[in-house]
């Protein structure tokens, strides 16, 4: 069985790739029957799955150590050639869209595939190649900048991701000091952080205008595969978050504040829900052993996948200097293996990210065997339902990780899930405003962020924390720099995941079976279609908010 560390990486040759893509396009265009078309399709799939796996291996190794000169150079190279390759594959997508065998293909592939392929074609216009190369260089410079920040704190040298372990500490003074050090790190790098984002907004605006749009927003929606809801739908969601969820989060924070005697709540109090911090018990090895036990008891499929991933070294979870600061799950289609990277720091978040990313891993694994997923994968809000719901479906085994702190963990986790949604809504609102108003100055962006943070998180103050009090908290959110408009997806997914939590409290097996049904569809249906198919409430309906609020109030005893 292959181990991730043993997979050989070979730099993809750009010209060979482009020539091969051109060959596939010609063969698909010239196919004399749908059978011949599908034969070429299979060859195309096999070839580009190998190329895609190779490219992902380079990314994985770069993020494992951003100071590695070889893989840093490879990432720079892939940033350069990536846009041209995307344009070439978009040309191949036209073969499916405009094929004379389209009626027959529509019987083989799901309808949403053709919608998504059209979006891909529209988003990968050849006129954008140079601008996308420039964008890639800017996002990589952000990754390198943030990954290279080291904070001297409490006798340790910590990356930005590492200092976050103190944000949940029971000692309020320690939390304040940690957040101050974190804020100072942003303050020390504010000029570069401002310049990188300002340049990204300018470049992306040029991309949108090159396609005839007023700004980047419509192109951003195409890139995010928004195939079943609009900007107006998101605005409705935002209004209902303000109307229903902000008062609910206020109730949660009032309860926490009263129990912990916090008085005025500061930004460094937001991750604390109990007097004693729930922390995972045992060594990393013991946590993995317990996770194996959990997933083997959850289902045969989850157990086998988890154990296979451990055996194949598909987890890199410990925080260290030079490592990319976030967490992700990536798929390696050639080997039918998911890979998970995260940054454990000893906090309850370690278990959150383990269960969260394994939800993605399960979806990746299932999707490897869905024919249409090669051409058009699951959209991001659907993918995040897979991961966020898995966090809640781990509850019957959560005492393996928290022992007698299990109830405290649940309060932290459910409370955090609910209070996250207003924050996530802010992130999207901020991005939408920045791209709709590309001439905003960095100072105006920070002022706007401060304003909406006060609107959606009214119980919190950032006073006294460097950079954060000036409206710069958003600069630690990598998605804003690297994946424009990718964040409201988390909010929709959390909204849906809370429904899986409610269902699992009533009948765990029925909830888990519904979850598996949701995953089994992969990207063959849109998010809205999936909700209807599985009998789940839509985040675009006001009545749904009333249901979710009632569920959370009951579980947390807030009635």
153 φψ region: left (φ > 0), alpha (ψ -120 to 50), beta (else): beta
User: Is 162 a residue whose pLDDT tops 90?
Assistant: no
Within 10 A of 477 (CB to CB), how many other CB atoms are there? 17
| C-alpha span between 411 and 416 (Å, rounded) | 8
What's the pLDDT tens digit per position in 391-408? 999 999 999 999 999 999
Q: What pLDDT sits at residue 487?
A: 94
Q: What pLDDT sits at residue 1?
A: 82
In the chain the first and final C-alpha atoms are separated, in Å, by 53
Nearest C-alpha neighbor of 75 from the set 87, 84, 89, 65: 65
Structure token pair of residue 430 = 């901020």
Q: What pLDDT sits at residue 559?
A: 78
What's the pLDDT tens digit per position in 411-436? 999 999 999 999 999 999 999 999 99
Q: What pLDDT sits at residue 359?
A: 98
pLDDT band at 325 (very low <50, low <70, confident <90, very high): confident
CA distances from 301 to 79, 92, 332 (A): 36, 35, 18
Sequence-ordered list of residues with C-beta below 8 angstroms from that of 338, at least 6 positions apart, any chain: 305, 309, 314, 329, 330, 331, 332, 360, 361, 364, 365
| C-alpha span between 528 and 227 (Å, rounded) | 9
User: Is 491 a residue whose pLDDT tops 90?
Assistant: yes
User: What is the arithmetic mean of pLDDT over 62-71?
Assistant: 95
| C-alpha span between 539 and 234 (Å, rounded) | 9
Domain ranges of the chain: 149-276+417-482
CA distances from 391 to 20, 315, 351, 398, 498 (A): 42, 17, 8, 10, 10
| C-alpha span between 460 and 465 (Å, rounded) | 12
Q: Is the dihedral of CA 317, 318, 322, 326 positive or negative?
A: positive
Nearest C-alpha neighbor of 265 from the set 278, 256, 277: 256
pTM, to two decimals: 0.91
Nearest C-alpha neighbor of 253 from the set 385, 140, 420, 388: 420
User: Is 160 a residue whose pLDDT tops 90?
Assistant: no
3-state per-residue secondary structure call for 354-366: HHHHHHHHHHHHH
Q: What pLDDT sits at residue 404?
A: 96
What's the pLDDT tens digit per position in 520-545? 999 999 999 999 999 999 999 999 99
Q: What pLDDT sits at residue 21?
A: 96
User: Is 326 a residue whose pLDDT tops 90?
Assistant: no
What's the pLDDT tens digit per position in 345-387? 899 999 999 999 999 999 999 999 999 999 988 999 999 999 9
Strand order in the sheet with 328-332: 315-318, 337-344, 328-332
Of the two residues 276 and 402, the one the predictor is more confident about is 402
Structure token pair of residue 81 = 């050639």
DSSP single-letter state for residue 465: S
Structure token pair of residue 411 = 């309060």
| C-alpha span between 174 and 131 (Å, rounded) | 44
Query: What is the assigned CATH class of domain 149-276+417-482?
Result: mainly alpha
State what percent of residues in the chain have pLDDT above 70: 100
User: Is 514 a residue whose pLDDT tops 90?
Assistant: yes
Q: What pLDDT sits at residue 106?
A: 97
Query: What dihedral do alpha carbons 522, 525, 529, 531 form, nearest 10°?
Result: 0
Sequence-ordered list of residues with C-beta below 8 angstroms from that of 238, at least 6 positions apart, any chain: 425, 428, 429
Structure token pair of residue 422 = 């207003």
Structure token pair of residue 320 = 């260290």
pLDDT band at 519 (very low <50, low <70, confident <90, very high): very high
CB-based contact 547:537 (threshold 8 Å): yes
Q: What pLDDT sits at residue 47?
A: 96
User: Is 343 a residue whose pLDDT tops 90?
Assistant: yes
Give bridge partners of residue 330 from the DSSP assignment: 339
């Amino acid at each position: 069985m292959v181990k991730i560390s043993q997979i050989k990486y070979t730099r993809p040759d750009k010209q060979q790739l482009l020539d091969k893509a051109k060959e596939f396009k010609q063969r698909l265009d010239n196919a004399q029957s749908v059978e011949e078309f599908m034969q070429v399709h299979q060859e195309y799939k096999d070839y580009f799955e190998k190329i895609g796996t190779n490219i992902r291996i380079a990314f994985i190794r770069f993020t494992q150590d951003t100071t590695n000169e070889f893989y840093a150079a490879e990432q720079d190279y892939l940033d350069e050639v990536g846009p041209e390759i995307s344009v070439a594959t978009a040309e191949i997508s036209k073969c499916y869209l405009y094929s004379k065998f389209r009626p027959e293909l529509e019987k083989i592939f799901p309808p949403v595939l053709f919608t998504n392929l059209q979006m891909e074609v529209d988003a990968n216009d050849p006129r954008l190649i140079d601008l996308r190369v420039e964008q890639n260089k800017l996002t990589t410079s952000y990754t390198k900048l943030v990954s290279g920040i080291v904070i001297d704190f409490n006798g340790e040298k910590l990356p930005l991701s590492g200092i976050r372990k103190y944000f949940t500490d029971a000692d309020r003074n320690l939390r304040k000091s940690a957040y101050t050090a974190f804020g100072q790190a942003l303050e020390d790098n504010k000029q570069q952080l401002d310049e990188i984002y300002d340049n990204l907004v300018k470049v992306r605006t040029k991309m949108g205008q090159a396609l005839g749009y007023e700004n980047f927003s419509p192109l951003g929606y195409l890139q995010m595969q928004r195939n079943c809801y609009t900007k107006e739908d998101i605005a409705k969601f935002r209004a209902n978050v303000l109307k229903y969820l902000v008062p609910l989060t206020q109730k949660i924070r009032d309860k926490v504040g009263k129990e912990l005697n916090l008085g005025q709540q500061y930004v460094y109090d937001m991750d604390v829900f109990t007097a004693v911090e729930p922390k995972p018990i045992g060594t990393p090895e013991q946590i993995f052993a317990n996770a194996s036990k959990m997933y083997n008891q959850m289902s045969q499929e989850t157990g086998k996948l988890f154990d296979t991933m451990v055996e194949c070294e598909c987890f890199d979870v410990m925080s260290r200097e030079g490592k990319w600061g976030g967490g992700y799950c990536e798929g390696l289609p050639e080997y039918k293996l998911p890979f998970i990277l995260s940054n454990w720091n000893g906090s309850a978040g370690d278990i959150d990210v383990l269960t969260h990313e394994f939800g993605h891993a399960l979806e990746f694994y299932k999707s490897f065997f869905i024919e249409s997923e090669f051409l058009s994968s699951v959209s991001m809000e659907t993918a995040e339902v897979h991961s966020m719901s898995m966090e809640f479906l781990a509850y019957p085994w959560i005492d393996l990780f928290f022992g007698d702190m299990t109830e405290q963990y649940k309060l932290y986790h459910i409370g955090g899930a609910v209070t996250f949604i207003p924050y996530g809504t802010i992130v999207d609102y901020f991005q939408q405003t920045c791209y709709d108003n590309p001439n905003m100055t960095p100072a105006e962006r920070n002022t706007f962020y401060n304003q909406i943070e006060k609107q959606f998180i009214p119980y919190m103050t950032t006073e006294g924390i460097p950079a954060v009090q000036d409206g710069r908290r958003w600069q630690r959110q990598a998605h804003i720099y690297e994946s424009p408009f990718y964040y409201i997806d988390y909010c929709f997914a959390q909204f849906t995941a809370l429904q899986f939590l409610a269902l699992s409290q009533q009948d765990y097996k029925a909830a888990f079976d519904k979850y598996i049904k949701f995953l089994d569809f992969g990207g063959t249906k849109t998010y809205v279609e999936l909700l209807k198919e599985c009998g789940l409430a839509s985040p675009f309906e006001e009545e749904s908010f009333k249901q979710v609020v009632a569920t959370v109030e009951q579980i947390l005893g807030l009635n």
